[in-house]
Amino acid sequence: MQKEYTVTVYTEDRIGITNRITVIFTRRGINITSLTTAETEIPGVYKFIITVMSEREKLEKVVGQIEKLIEIHRAFVHEEDEVVYQELALYKISTKSLHNGNIEKLIRDNNARILTITADYFVIEKTGHQQELIAMLKKLEPYGLIEYSKSGRVAIVKWSRRFHDHLKELAAKEADNFKAIS
Amino acid sequence: MQQKDVLPMKAKPVDEPTPVASAPLQPITGAEAVIRSLIAEGVETIFGYPGGAIMPIYDALYDFQDQVHHILVRHEQGATHAAQGYARTSGKVGVVFATSGPGATNLVTGLADAHMDSTPMVCITGQVAAALLGTDAFQETDVIGITMPITKWNIQVTRPEDIPGAIAKAFYIARNGRPGPVLVDITKNAQVAKCDFQYQKCEYIRSYRPVPALQEDQVEAAAALINSAKKPYILCGHGVLIANAEKELIALAEKAQIPIASTLLGLSAVPVDHPLYVGYLGMHGNYAPNIKTNECDVLIAVGMRFDDRITGDVSTYASQAKVLHIEIDAAEINKIIKADVAVHADAKAALQALLPKIQPQQHDEWLQGFKEADRMEEEKVTRHELYPTEGGLKMAEVIRLISEKTGGHAVLVTDVGQHQMIASRYYRFQDPNTNITSGGMGTMGFALPAAMGAKVGTPEKEVVAIIGDGCFQMTLQELGTIYQSEIGVKIVILNNNFLGMVRQWQQLFFDKRYSSTEMINPDFVQIAKGFYVPGRKVTDRAEISAAVDEMLQHKGAYLLEVVVEKEDNVFPMVPAGAPIANIRLE
């Protein structure tokens, strides 16, 4: 059965690693719905957080192929209840709508906040799960939404302790971040 | 939550890397660093083709001709297949040089082939200067992007000081774990600029664990499964040869009297004459080994990956059996066939650990069943194929003669199609690593260049290439390499003036609509003569034995064209995607 899964991939810092990972999803015809990547607490080790709609069995095989790549430390498939996660959205609204009294209540009720205000527009930030961010989008549309931008998923794995201890041990070893830049 | 998810799997600390090779006192060019790095890796032979972006490396090679032998091929694809043949017979890493752009793209087929068939290879490509990267410069191509999915690893190097490290990693990755092809792309500026040279062999990459640690609980479970079996059955794959585990496999089979069948790439691991060897698996394999897959109670798959040409319809494949899968590549376990017990390990290590835990057994009745099934194949197929008395020459009788006259000790290099299946069925392999063929990719044109590499890798062996008329015309320009480099391969063209395997499918599944499969061929013997390779054409049964003798007795390269029956089919045959039970004998 198709479901949303979070895939985490721990990699060395190498040019082209994103390509190497995504091409494996492409081969199996799996669409990546979001992708976030950044350095972890261990210098030189990067974490990819990928969300996909797929079947567990298919995804396990994809993860197996990803783990075969030389610069990959490990890759995991997570069910929704195995991760604590957040996404972030920015909403750009016409400043004219500030005159509408409901916007303050909307921001308060949704734990959103205003990042900036100019004469033309203001920008609201909200974090949460995708459904919440989309619900907020729907509520803001009547106020003259100019632009909406949402991040990929940021996730913490509930059972990650031993693996991250292992990653810390890696920090003592030479990285394989062959960066051939002239 | 599964335990494997939390265990750190990949890290394996090892000793400090050992420094290798004496360092020159003066800074040297990146190009010279390439050659010195290869020498430090023990490279003796390179297959390649020069061009603009790799000229500095070729220039450096000029000073090292006494240490490294470069074989100038006629097309870069030929270099890759030659490197494959070299690697698969000699056990060393095959090395290829090519220039940027078209030189690099011509490597693609060979890289993909080596990737599918787990062949260790290091390809070094020249690249335009780093300053020109991404500008659509002359002969620039994104070879890193192109070869990403068909190499085990690839890297672009743009500074001379990075060359030794990149090459050290390339060799480490190519030859360790499940072997595969690696590509190192070196920009021209990195070849020309100077660096201090120091070479350290790579012995560890922190994100890569090539050989998994053998897990005792997996071995115990595997032993228990084998010991409980009434009808155990071993499938021997390429992994057995790669791990050099032929003796261990045979010892285990003998101890518990387990029949062994072989995959296409597993052929030659077990001598065909061994009493427990029951034959060759797959779409055109032997009858008994195929149907018995659906009768065994424990299927012991060693170093193989359940290719669709072996399983047919997966849902009906060995569904009655418990499956034990011994495999070094974790991604292969449960990929196609769910393993009841998996031993994630090198085949040799796993079999060595298993052997003392296996109880001696007898399975006479089970083994007898194979013989009975064999008799059916013998009556319906084999007899008529091997010993025909009328009609045109048959591929099988030619293979039988070559097998008899070489005692099964030649390195047999086959191309792709009917002749490949016939050769795999009827050559009686006696020694490991003597079957060189393109399995996973099924690359037509593989055999001639691969045979060159095989001969260079094992000059003491007789190397016989079995090639179809279609395949030969894909890479025949390598006759030029054979002549120039004096490579003594024997070339047998089994000519049916058809793309035989496609024609067979057209006959059986496309209503005999022979769309673009008939070939009007040139005079192959004349072509060989043009390349100063002597040859002979045979059309009569009466001549064939003497012609094979003449070929084998000839010193140096020789081409024998045998005109065979035009519309012969290869049987048995499991139609693509059908259950194995649907195997057809006629």
Residues 6+ apart with CB under 8 A from B13: A173, B204
Provide the pLDDT for residue B15: 47
Contact yes or no for A66/A21 (Cβ under 8 A): yes
d(CA B557, CA B446): 17
Domain ranges of chain B: 3-200, 216-370, 392-563
Provide the pLDDT for residue B93: 98
Q: What are A74-90's pLDDT values in tens digits? A: 999 999 999 999 999 99
Contact yes or no for B500/B421 (Cβ under 8 A): no
Query: Could A70 and B157 be called an inter-chain contact, meaning their C-beta atoms sit closer than 8 Å?
Result: no
Query: Which residues of A fall within a CB distance of 8 Å from B169?
Result: 176, 178
| pLDDT surpassing 90 at residue A96 | no
| pLDDT surpassing 50 at residue B407 | yes
Query: What is the interface pTM, i.e. ipTM, of the complex?
Result: 0.90
Tokens, residue B285: 């394999």
d(CA B430, CA B428): 6
| pLDDT surpassing 60 at residue B17 | no
Interface check B14 vs A, CB under 8 A: no
Which of these is catalytic: B32, B41, B47, B76? B76
pLDDT band of B153, cuts 50, 70, 90: very high
3-state DSSP helix/strand/coil % of chain B, to nearest 5: 40, 15, 40
Query: Could A182 and B207 be called an inter-chain contact, meaning their C-beta atoms sit closer than 8 Å?
Result: no
Radius of gyration over every alpha carbon of chain A, rounded to an integer in angstroms = 20
How far is B403 from chain A, CA to nearest CA, in Å?
39
Provide the pLDDT for residue B21: 52
How far is B206 from chain A, CA to nearest CA, in Å?
7
Query: Which residues of B fall within a CB distance of 8 Å from A21?
Result: none
Interface check A178 vs B, CB under 8 A: yes
d(CA B254, CA B240): 16
Span between the terminal Cα atoms of chain B, in Å: 51
- Torsion-angle region of B74 (φ positive above 0: left; ψ -120 to 50: alpha; else: beta): alpha
Which of these is catalytic: B9, B10, B67, B138? B138
In DSSP terms, B46 is beta-bridged to B70
Query: Looking at this protein, which amino acid is placed at residue B388?
Result: P
d(CA A62, CA B428): 39
How far is A95 from chain B, CA to nearest CA, in Å?
43
* Listed residue (B339, B344, B355, B367) closest to B276, CA to CA: B367
Provide the pLDDT for residue A167: 79
As a whole number, mean pLDDT of residues A20-45 equals: 94
Query: Could A73 and B162 be called an inter-chain contact, meaning their C-beta atoms sit closer than 8 Å?
Result: no
Provide the pLDDT for residue B249: 98
Q: How deeply is B577 buried, as exposed, middle or buried, from its count of CB atoms within 10 A (0-12, 13-18, 19+)?
A: exposed
Query: Which residues of B fall within a CB distance of 8 Å from A181?
Result: 158
Closest residue in A to B11 (Cα–Cα):
A170
How far is A11 from chain B, CA to nearest CA, in Å?
8
Query: Could B157 and A180 be called an inter-chain contact, meaning their C-beta atoms sit closer than 8 Å?
Result: yes
pLDDT band of A181, cuts 50, 70, 90: very low
The percent of residues above 90 in pLDDT, for chain B, comes to 95
Total residues found in chain B within this entry: 586
pLDDT band of B19, cuts 50, 70, 90: very low
Closest residue in B to A12 (Cα–Cα):
B207
Query: Could A180 and B155 be called an inter-chain contact, meaning their C-beta atoms sit closer than 8 Å?
Result: yes
Total residues found in chain A within this entry: 182
* Listed residue (A127, B48, B351, B335) closest to B343, CA to CA: B351
Query: Which residues of B fall within a CB distance of 8 Å from A16?
Result: 144-145, 148
d(CA B70, CA B485): 9
pLDDT band of B14, cuts 50, 70, 90: very low
As a whole number, mean pLDDT of residues B309-331 equals: 96
What's the order of all strands across the beta sheet hosting A45-54? A32-39, A45-54, A3-12, A72-78
Provide the pLDDT for residue A178: 59
Tokens, residue A54: 């797929």
Provide the pLDDT for residue A165: 83
Query: Which residues of A fall within a CB distance of 8 Å from B155?
Result: 178, 180
CA–CA distance from A72 to each of A48, A99, B203, B206 (Å)? Answer: 11, 52, 17, 9
Q: Which helix (H) or strand (E) holds B298?
A: strand B298-302
In DSSP terms, B208 is beta-bridged to B205
**Is there a cis peptide before residue B179, judged by omega within 30 degrees of 0?**
no
Per-residue burial over B95-113, b if 16 or more Cβ lie within 10 Å, else e, is: bbbbbbbebbbbbbbbbbb
* Listed residue (A27, A177, A69) closest to B152, CA to CA: A69
Which of these is catalytic: B12, B44, B55, B139? B139
Number of Cβ within a 10 Å radius of residue B484: 14
Provide the pLDDT for residue B246: 98
Q: For domain B392-563, give the fold.
A: Rossmann fold (3.40.50)
- Write phi, then psi, for B410 (nearest 5 degrees): -75, 160
Interface check B184 vs A, CB under 8 A: no
pTM: 0.94
Query: Which residues of A fall within a CB distance of 8 Å from B205?
Result: 70, 176
Beta-strand runs (E) in A120-179 = 121-128, 145-150, 154-157
As a whole number, mean pLDDT of residues B290-318 equals: 97
In DSSP terms, B182 is beta-bridged to B122, B153
d(CA B306, CA B114): 18
Q: What are B191-203's pLDDT values in tens digits? A: 999 999 999 999 9
Interface check A16 vs B, CB under 8 A: yes
* Listed residue (A39, A56, A50, A51) closest to A2, CA to CA: A56
Contact yes or no for B181/B152 (Cβ under 8 A): yes
Q: Which helix (H) or strand (E) holds B240?
A: helix B238-242
Residue from the list A70, A163, A180 with its beta carbon closest to the beta carbon of B207: A70
Catalytic, B473? Answer no
| pLDDT surpassing 70 at residue B22 | no
Catalytic, B501? Answer yes
As a whole number, mean pLDDT of residues A10-32 equals: 94
Query: Could B7 and A162 be called an inter-chain contact, meaning their C-beta atoms sit closer than 8 Å?
Result: yes
Query: Could A23 and B169 be called an inter-chain contact, meaning their C-beta atoms sit closer than 8 Å?
Result: no
Closest residue in A to B336 (Cα–Cα):
A61
Interface check A171 vs B, CB under 8 A: no
Provide the pLDDT for residue B8: 40
Provide the pLDDT for residue B18: 47
Angle ∠(B341,B347,B350) on CA atoms, nearest 5? 60
Query: Could B10 and A74 be called an inter-chain contact, meaning their C-beta atoms sit closer than 8 Å?
Result: yes
Tokens, residue B425: 């069925």
Indicate the Cα dihedral angle B411, B413, B419, B422, nearest 10°.
40
Catalytic, B444? Answer no
Query: Which residues of B fall within a CB distance of 8 Å from A81?
Result: none
- Suggest the residue from A22, A70, A169 to mutate for an interface test with chain B (most B CBs closer than 10 A): A70
Provide the pLDDT for residue A159: 85
Q: What is the DSSP string of B316-336?
A: GTTTTSEEEEEES-GGGTTTS
B216-370 and B392-563, same CATH topology = yes
As a whole number, mean pLDDT of residues B355-375 equals: 97
pLDDT band of A182, cuts 50, 70, 90: very low
pLDDT band of A162, cuts 50, 70, 90: confident
Pairs of CB atoms within 8 A across A/B: 87
Query: Could A68 and B157 be called an inter-chain contact, meaning their C-beta atoms sit closer than 8 Å?
Result: no
- Write phi, then psi, for B322 (nearest 5 degrees): -80, 140
How far is A122 from chain B, CA to nearest CA, in Å?
39
Q: Please report which residue ranges of A28-93 form alpha helices under DSSP H.
A: 56-68
CA–CA distance from A156 to each of A164, B1, B264, B564 (Å)? Answer: 11, 16, 46, 66
* Listed residue (B405, B464, B456) closest to B434, CA to CA: B464
Query: Which residues of A fall within a CB distance of 8 Å from B334?
Result: 60-61
- Suggest the residue from B159, B207, B208, B306 to mutate for an interface test with chain A (most A CBs closer than 10 A): B207
**Domains of chain A and any CATH numbers:** 3-78+158-171 (3.30.70.260), 84-150 (3.30.70.1150)
Angle ∠(B416,B302,B41) on CA atoms, nearest 5? 75
Provide the pLDDT for residue B1: 33
The class level of CATH for B216-370 reads: alpha beta
How far is A44 from chain B, CA to nearest CA, in Å?
11
| pLDDT surpassing 60 at residue A41 | yes
B3-200 placed in CATH 3.40.50.880: no
d(CA B114, CA B143): 16
Q: What are B527-568's pLDDT values in tens digits? A: 999 999 999 999 999 999 999 999 999 999 999 999 999 999
Closest residue in B to A14 (Cα–Cα):
B155
Interface check B206 vs A, CB under 8 A: yes
Provide the pLDDT for residue B86: 98
State the average pLDDT for chain B: 95
Provide the pLDDT for residue A101: 67
Beta-strand runs (E) in B452-544 = 463-468, 490-495, 535-538
